[in-house]
Each structure stands twice: as C-alpha cells, then as structure tokens.
Amino acid sequence: MFSGLDSTQSMMVNLERQKLNYLSEVLRNSGIREAWRYYKQNEQRFRYPVYVPHLHMEVHGQPALKYINNSVGGRDTCLFIFGCKEDEELLLGGGNRYRINSSIVDQHMVSGFLTLIPP
C-alpha cells in the first residue's frame, strides 16, 4: 500500500535534486543547492514556506516552456522567496553566505494580489 507513495516521494526528491543540480551548474552557483539544503534541514524554524520558482513550477508542454523562457529571466527562476524578513535573515544569517538572490513577499501582499485576480 505504501510502496506507491514511497515511489512517488522518491521521484519527487530525485526531481528536486535534478533541478537543484541544473540551477547550480547553469548559474555556476553551488550556494543555491546549499541554501536549499539548509532550508529543508531547518524547515521547522521558518515561519512561512520558502519558494524557489524553478523548484516549484510545473511546465506542461513546449509552448508553456517557451513562454516562460521568454518571460522570466534565468536568475529569477532561482530566486528564494521568503514570507517575512525574519525567515530571510534565518537563511542568510546577517550576510549572504550562500550568494543567492532573495525577495520577501509578505502575506498582506499575497492577499492583495488575490483580490486583483478574478475568480
């Protein structure tokens, strides 16, 4: 019964690892992989989830991939998006030891975006 779940989870971990390796190689920045590893090992210490667009996007089909490649800069796909300043400080530790790009999108901003999007 659980073997299907284990298999799916294993596939997701492998996909995440592949995406991290891709980002590290293409951008020549192993700090992305190290920062994500730190986050995953200390996830319970963060107030909000941390997102990295390249790790969290699912692209279905060549037209969508072409659109994203033409619309979003490569460096923006590895941007670490935090829910609050404290979480950003937790990962960066007073200095950008991982040499990553980051941004903060607080919950008030998200609420504002959701009211602008029609149902």
pLDDT of 52 above 50: yes
Indicate the helix (H) or strand (E) that contains 82: strand 80-82
How many domains, the chain?
A: 1
pLDDT at 100 over 80: yes
CA distance linking residue 105 with residue 65, whole number of Å:
25
Closest to 54 (Cα-Cα) out of 36, 34, 28:
36
The closest of 78, 82, 72, 32 to 53, measured between CA atoms, is 78
Q: Give the number of other CB atoms < 10 A from CB of residue 54.
A: 20
Residue written as token pair 């963060």: 46
Token pair recorded at residue 1: 């019964």
Other Cβ atoms less than 10 A from the Cβ of 52: the count is 23
Can you give the pLDDT at residue 79? 82
**End-to-end Cα separation, the chain, in angstroms:** 38
Whole-number average pLDDT of the chain: 76
The DSSP call for residue 96 is T
This prediction has a pTM of 0.69
Look up the domain containing 109 and give its range.
3-116
